[in-house]
Amino acid sequence: MNSLDQLRQHTTVVADTGDFDQLSQFRPQDATTNPSLVLKAVQQPRYYTLLELAVASHPGAAVGAVAEHLLVAFGVEILNVVPGRVSTEIDPRLSHDTAASVTTARRIIQLYAAAGVPRERVLIKLASTWAGIQAARELEQQGIRTNLTLLFCLAQAKACADAGVQLISPFVGRIYDWFKKTSGSSWDEAAMAGPNDPGVRSVVEIYTHYKRHGIQTEVMAASFRNSGQIIALAGCDLMTISPNLLAELNAASTPVERRLLPATTVEAKPAAMTESEFNAALAADAMASEKLNDGIQQFIADTETLEQLIRSIQA
């Protein structure tokens, strides 16, 4: 078997793309999108027609409303290819607004329902801020499943577990990027590869904590920079992988053995984290706080660029 098929024996493979034409060749179970991926896709002629259709189908609608219809249109197309779930991200400008996040998420689920998609096939993506996690708590209680993204540390993962979220997406590559940049000329790529990669270590820590305490929230490692990071995390519940790395694994014959294993014994869950404890832990982690803020700002920038494209068609 090639490396991708070997990986499937240990981990559920998810495609990280807005390009649904690429999905069928890799046979992922689920797919994830974000504002950056959708923006990248609609700038291709193949997908620009979806943008035009979203505008034409909603004359006079606010730009934000058209953008939501576009995101759902992408999700519906993706669900025609993958057998499982699609993750759709709400407006990143709401990352610190719990009430608005809940309202937006419910509206997106209603749009999917109108397109004939049951809520069980949709994960609402929210940033792993305190407000985003509390929005996820409310949504989960309403039967709307969530995917908490831009997650960089154990404190975020613990708060997500307390909220009972369906799935978290710890970002391997962006953690790796931060430590590599911070280390400068002292960074030793070979020594920090595989299990020593700081992004890999973070996911292992979170996965181990969840399994040790019997936490049911799914761990989906995300944001990979190379196939070595993926192979080092074989056994993680899920991995969302870009098409180029899926292709690389599909063409490789590198052995893939399970590295992450379920716990043999389960301990009592720790006490729930308070907001002040969460904020203190995040403030004490320069990497996590910086990458969380940077990630939100990048998604906001791409969302606003997408809205500019919508306005250009509306004009």
As annotated, the active-site residues are 125
Kindly give, in sequence order, each residue whose CB lies less than 8 Å from that of residue 312, ignoring residues fewer than 6 positions away: none
Q: Can you list the pairs that 52-61 forms with residues at least 24 positions away whose Cβ atoms lie under 8 Å?
A: 52/313, 54/310, 55/310, 55/313, 55/314
- Burial pattern 14-28, b for ≥16 Cβ within 10 A else e, equals bbbbbbbebbeebbb
- Six-digit token pair at 269? 């869950």
List, in sequence order, every residue forming a beta bridge with 241; answer none if it has no partner.
15
CB atoms within 10 A of CB 293: 14
Compute the distance between CA of residue 6 and CA of residue 143 in angstroms, rounded to an integer: 34
Contact indicator for 63, 310 with CB cutoff of 8 Å: yes
d(CA 218, CA 140): 14
Report the residue count for the chain: 315
* DSSP code per residue over 282-300: HHH-HHHHHHHHHHHHHHH
Residue pair 263/204 in contact by the 8 Å Cβ criterion: no
The token pair that represents 6 in the structure block? 């070997």
The answer to whether 73 touches 50, Cβ cutoff 8 Å, is yes
Distance CA 193, CA 302 (A): 31
